[in-house]
Amino acid sequence: MYGTERLRALDAVATHGTLALAARILHVTPSGVSQQLARLERESGRKLLEPAGRGVRLTQAGRVLAVHARRVVAQLAAAESDLADLDGEVVGPLRIGGIGSSLRALLPDVLSALTERHPRLAPSVVDGEAADLVPMLLGGELDLLLAESWTSRPMPLPEGLALRRIAVERVDVALSAAHPCAGRDIVDLAELDDEVWASCPPGSDPYESLVQALRGRGIEPRVPYRLGEFGTQLALVANGLAVALVPEMGQRPSPAGVSFVPVRPELRREVLAVWRAQTETPSIRACVDGLAGRAS
pLDDT for position 84: 64
Instruction: Identify the structural domains of the chain with CATH numbers, from first to last.
Output: 4-85 (1.10.10.10), 92-167+271-295 (3.40.190.10), 168-270 (3.40.190.290)
Q: What's the pLDDT at 272?
A: 96
pLDDT value for 235: 97
Convert the pLDDT of each residue in 127-176 to its tens digit: 998 888 999 998 889 999 999 999 988 888 888 899 999 999 999 999 99
Q: Residue 111's pLDDT is what? A: 96
CA distance 183 to 241: 18
Query: Which segments of the chain have a pLDDT < 70?
Result: 1, 81-88
| Structure confidence at residue 36 (pLDDT) | 87
d(CA 102, CA 173): 18
Q: What is the pLDDT of residue 78?
A: 72
**What is residue 129's predicted lDDT score, i.e. its pLDDT?**
87
Return the bridge partners of 197, or none.
243
pTM, two decimal places: 0.73
